[in-house]
Amino acid sequence: MALLTRRDILALITVSAAAGVRPIRLGAQAATPRRIGIIGSGQQGGSLGLLWAKAGHEVLFSSRHPDQLKDLVDKAGPNARSGFPQDAAAFGDVVLIAVPYGALPQVGKDYAAMMKGKVVIDVGNPREDRDGPMAADAMARGTGVASAEYLPGVRLVRALSALSFMQVQKEAHRAGEKLGVPVAGDDAEAVKIVAALVTDAGFDPVIVGGLSRAKEFDRNTPVYVKGLTAKQIREALKLPPA
C-alpha cells in the first residue's frame, strides 16, 4: 500500500464548502475494492462516498448537475469521478441511493432496470411532511418492504440509514468502540458485501435480518440516530451477542 504524501494529508483535511462535508478520518484499506455508484451526492451520499474512496473503492458521485460535484470529487481523490444518475446506476456493482425518500419511486422507474441484479443500498428515510402520503405508507409497512417494491429486481439492503450525516462525518473510524450500523436484507451475499462496506466506512455492522426487519431501525425507533455501539443495538433489538 502506497504511503500518503504530505500533499495527500493536506488534501484530506481540506473542507469542501461546496459539498458541505467535514474532514474525514482515515481507516484501513478495503480488502475487496468495489465500484460504487452514488445516486444522490448530498450530505449523506457525499460523506459516505468520501469514506469509501479513501478506503480504496472506485466511486462515481452523481447529480443532475455533475459539474457542481467538482470540489467533492477533488477531495475524494483519484478513486472518484462524477456523472449523471444513470452513469452511477451503470457504473457501480454496488449502488448507494441517498435521495429524499419521496424521490425513490422515480429512481426506481428510471434506473431499476439498469441496476437489476446489483447490490443496492437504500439509506433514505420517509418523512410525511416532506414526502407526502407515501411516507406514511412506507413507515407503516417498514422501509425495507416499501423500498423493495420501488426497486424491483435489485439485491436491496437497508443500511447506513440509522445514522445522521453528522455522525457519518464526525464518528467514522473513531477510537474505541465504533458506532453500530444495523443492516437488513433478504440476499445473504448482498448483506455480506454491504456489511464489509460499513466496516470500510468506519462503523460496526449489525446484521438484523431480512428486509421486513428494517422497520426496527426506521425513523422514531429506539436505535435511530442514537449513536449506539453494535453491542447496544443488539441489546435494543434483542439480537444474540456477536
Give pLDDT tens digits for 19-28.
Answer: 344 444 556 7
The 3-state secondary structure of the chain, one letter per residue: CCCCCHHHHHHHCCCECCCCECCCCCCCCCCCCCEEEEECCCHHHHHHHHHHHHCCCEEEEECCCHHHHHHHHHHHCCCEEEECHHHHHHHCCEEEECCCHHHHHHHHHHHCCCCCCCEEEECCCCCHHHHCHHHHHHHHHCHHHHHHHHCCCCEEEEECCCCCHHHHHHHCCCCCCCEEEEEEECCHHHHHHHHHHHHHCCCEEEEEECHHHHHHHCCCCCCCCCCCEHHHHHHHCCCCCC
Predicted pLDDT of residue 106: 98
Mean pLDDT by runs of 10 across the 242 residues of the chain is: 38 34 60 95 98 98 97 98 98 98 98 98 97 97 98 98 97 97 98 98 98 98 98 97 86
Predicted pLDDT of residue 25: 53
d(CA 134, CA 102): 7
pTM for this structure? 0.88
d(CA 179, CA 137): 29
Predicted pLDDT of residue 8: 41
Predicted pLDDT of residue 147: 98
Predicted pLDDT of residue 19: 39
- Per-residue pLDDT tens for 122-168? 999 999 999 999 999 999 999 999 999 999 999 999 999 999 999 99
- Give the other-Cβ count within 10 Å of 125's Cβ: 23
Q: What percent of the chain has pLDDT over 90?
A: 86
Integer CA distances (angstroms), 169 to 49, 63, 201, 203, 240, in order: 11, 20, 10, 11, 29
Is the domain spanning 31-236 CATH 3.30.70.20? The answer is no
